[in-house]
Amino acid sequence: DAIELMNPSAAGRSRQVKRARLNADVLRLPAVGNSDAHVLEGIGTAWTWFPGATADHYRAAIDAGTTQPGGAFWSNLHNVDVYRRQLGAKARHLRHTLRPSGEWR
């Protein structure tokens, strides 16, 4: 229905030009922005501009192709902090998944 052309993370920044080119040359989808927030500080750092104020207006804007992505890329420090937190969460999950013997639960 749409393509995310504004994702403020390092991954989003590194792929933005390639996605925009693909969209302009091939896909021709409405563009949106999303915070992709895995931490509280990331919420609201990217968004989609559209006429209206409701979910129905948003859906209609995507259908009409009248959306515009907005936002600001995260700093390198913020990206490192997000990845640090994600690695910690994955390590905790893995610790709970493995039995003391090293076998999977």
Question: Would you give the end-to-end CA distance of the chain in angstroms?
Answer: 39
Any idea where the domains of the chain sit in the sequence? 3-74
pLDDT tens for the chain, 105 residues: list them. 999 999 999 999 999 999 999 999 999 999 999 987 777 888 999 999 999 999 999 999 999 999 999 999 999 998 999 889 989 989 988 887 776 666 665
Pull the structure tokens for residue 49. Answer: 């501009």
Structural contact between residues 67 and 104, judged by C-beta atoms closer than 8 angstroms: no
